[in-house]
Chains A and B, each alone.
Chain A
């Protein structure tokens, strides 16, 4: 019974933890401009993140090692460093975007300019990392993030024509007035939002922190295989809401305040309250994860002590990196750069950086020297190879498409 509850809570946490500022912005934007015609990308992204998270979780449970520890061993000091720098730039941009997202969400409730909240939010993010036990932290924000389920409720209340929705989703076509490059540019953005690399750094390092062993793998798989797809459905519901409300009105989504509007229209003030709580929880939770991920990755690459499971003074350099990353992230947002724009760039660059960590994990997951009996199955490898190809194409196409479409204009 207790085990069942644990699984249940784990799945809920994974759903609530799936959505972050990138998913919110990308899905809302895409829903308003492309309707359901890009919903398939979320599906492809969810399968990808399930595959990647399962592999890295298994590697972490069997070897007790974090991602960048292995990346450096497999790629060597030079290629590993390049990899680390690229991945950390993306994670840092994401961290900044999440910090901005929390502040913007609080602005929605208070109508006080978000910039005033940024220092406070940064402090709180650091403080939670400093004081709150790992498991409580993950669970609290994951569960609060479930408030975003109100998007699904709103979508249902807005009363879509289910038949035409299914038709649109299953017969994707570029809508009138949009070019093919723009369509593919947003496909990549949506894909990058669903498959952000920090999720994997956090997930595998978290597995090491919580001391997973092979026995925990079953629970891990259930969490991933149920939680992420349901989180993906939530993403599609966000796109669905903006599709129904904004597309007919010719509205393009440029602000977080707009993302909440369909829910207000469909579910009123209570719905809006849920949305704001969900925004705060999802972005705050992701800020914690990205902040920790910078520390995890750098410490693992350099062979330092890391993690929340030891006293901070015993992992002083790790905590110093986390602190510096949060301060710099807050400073980036305080330059008054638009956090939504930072988000859009962070998800596209995520797509660019994905193969850098995916490939070494795929190789290590096949290495009996590390994995023993727990190497990839043939099915996992078949899927893994297909995604390696896909990620490579996406990574190579992202920047040219960004330039060609002037970042999706």
Chain B
């Protein structure tokens, strides 16, 4: 599987309700040692609606200026949520899960 196979897929919750699309894949560096680093393990999917807004770094990294841009981007990314990887089922170009809502996205 490639990263791009997951990013962009629609995410459906319980009863086929649309929760958004996959904006990003959260990785945790806690696997066995591979070279200089511990292996990167897929931990969760970041789900939301606005792709470009999510990549600017305002929602998860520590970017917070200028004020107005921050406010607009935060409004666009407010609904973003996290879906743990082990609850996600990928088939036929959609991600399904048995959920009504997503977990909040902790900043990095």
A interface residues, Cβ below 8 angstroms from B: 74-76, 79, 362-363, 366-369, 375-376, 381-382, 384-385, 388
B65-106 Cβ-contact flags toward A at 8 Å (1 or 0): 111110000000000000000000000000000000000000
Q: Tell me the dominant secondary structure on chain A's binding face.
A: helix
Of B56, B57, B63, B69, which one neighbours A385 at CB under 8 angstroms?
Answer: B69
Of A75, A369, A385, which one neighbours B61 at CB under 8 angstroms?
Answer: A369
B52 at the interface (CB under 8 A from A): yes
User: What is the CA–CA distance of A74 and B55 in the complex, to the nearest angstrom?
Assistant: 6
Q: Is the CB of A366 within 8 A of B66?
A: yes
Q: Is the CB of B65 within 8 A of A75?
A: no
A77 CB → nearest B CB, Å:
9
Q: Is the CB of A75 within 8 A of B55?
A: yes
B33-66 Cβ-contact flags toward A at 8 Å (1 or 0): 0000000000000000001100111000111111
Q: How many A-B residue pairs have CB under 8 A?
A: 45
Classify chain B's interface size: 10 to 19
Q: Is the CB of B66 within 8 A of A385?
A: yes
B interface residues, Cβ below 8 angstroms from A: 51-52, 55-57, 61-69
A55 CB → nearest B CB, Å:
11
Taking CB as reference atom, which chain B residue is nearest A381? B66
Q: Which residues of B contact A368 (CB under 8 A)?
A: 62-63
Closest 6 CB pairs between A and B? A381-B66, A366-B65, A385-B66, A367-B63, A385-B68, A381-B65
Q: Is the CB of B63 within 8 A of A384?
A: no
Of A363, A375, A384, which one neighbours B56 at CB under 8 angstroms?
Answer: A363
User: What is the CA–CA distance of A385 and B62 in the complex, to the nearest angstrom?
Assistant: 19
User: What is the CA–CA distance of A388 and B71 in the complex, to the nearest angstrom?
Assistant: 14
Taking CB as reference atom, which chain A residue is nearest B4? A77
Q: Is the CB of A382 within 8 A of B66?
A: yes
Tell whether A384 pairs with B66 under 8 Å between CB atoms, given A367-B57, A369-B57: yes
User: What is the CA–CA distance of A249 and B78 in the complex, to the nearest angstrom?
Assistant: 61
Q: Which residues of A contact B57 (CB under 8 A)?
A: 74, 363, 367, 369
Which of B55, B56, B63, B64: most chain A Cβ within 10 A? B63
A-B contact pairs, 12 of them (CB 8 A): A74-B55, A74-B56, A75-B55, A79-B51, A362-B66, A363-B56, A366-B63, A366-B66, A367-B57, A376-B65, A384-B66, A388-B68
Q: Which residues of A contact B66 (CB under 8 A)?
A: 362, 366, 376, 381-382, 384-385, 388
B100 CB → nearest A CB, Å:
29
Of B52, B63, B64, B69, which one neighbours A76 at CB under 8 angstroms?
Answer: B52
A7 CB → nearest B CB, Å:
30
Of B51, B52, B62, B68, which one neighbours A369 at CB under 8 angstroms?
Answer: B62
Q: Which residues of B contact A75 (CB under 8 A)?
A: 52, 55
Tell whether A79 pairs with B52 under 8 Å between CB atoms, given A362-B69, A385-B69: yes
Taking CB as reference atom, which chain B residue is nearest A384? B66
A401 CB → nearest B CB, Å:
26
User: What is the CA–CA distance of A376 and B68 in the complex, to the nearest angstrom?
Assistant: 14
Q: Which residues of B contact A367 (CB under 8 A)?
A: 57, 61-63
Taking CB as reference atom, which chain A residue is nearest B7? A76
Q: Which residues of A contact B67 (CB under 8 A)?
A: 381, 385
B25 CB → nearest A CB, Å:
14
Taking CB as reference atom, which chain A residue is nearest B52? A79
Which of B57, B64, B65, B67: most chain A Cβ within 10 A? B65
Q: Which residues of B contact A375 (CB under 8 A)?
A: 65
User: What is the CA–CA distance of A366 and B58 in the complex, to the nearest angstrom?
Assistant: 10
Taking CB as reference atom, which chain A residue is nearest B108? A369
Which of B66, B67, B68: most chain A Cβ within 10 A? B66
User: What is the CA–CA distance of A375 and B63 in the complex, to the nearest angstrom?
Assistant: 10
Q: Which residues of A contact B62 (CB under 8 A)?
A: 367-369
Q: Which residues of B contact A381 (CB under 8 A)?
A: 65-67
Q: Is the CB of A76 within 8 A of B55?
A: yes
Taking CB as reference atom, which chain B residue is nearest A76? B55
Taking CB as reference atom, which chain A residue is nearest B66? A381
User: What is the CA–CA distance of A363 and B67 in the complex, to the nearest angstrom?
Assistant: 11
Q: Which residues of B contact A362 (CB under 8 A)?
A: 66, 69
Taking CB as reference atom, which chain A residue is nearest B62? A368
B23 CB → nearest A CB, Å:
10
Taking CB as reference atom, which chain B residue is nearest A371? B63
User: What is the CA–CA distance of A74 and B51 in the complex, to the nearest angstrom?
Assistant: 11
Tell whether A76 pairs with B61 under 8 Å between CB atoms, given A362-B66, A381-B66, A388-B69: no
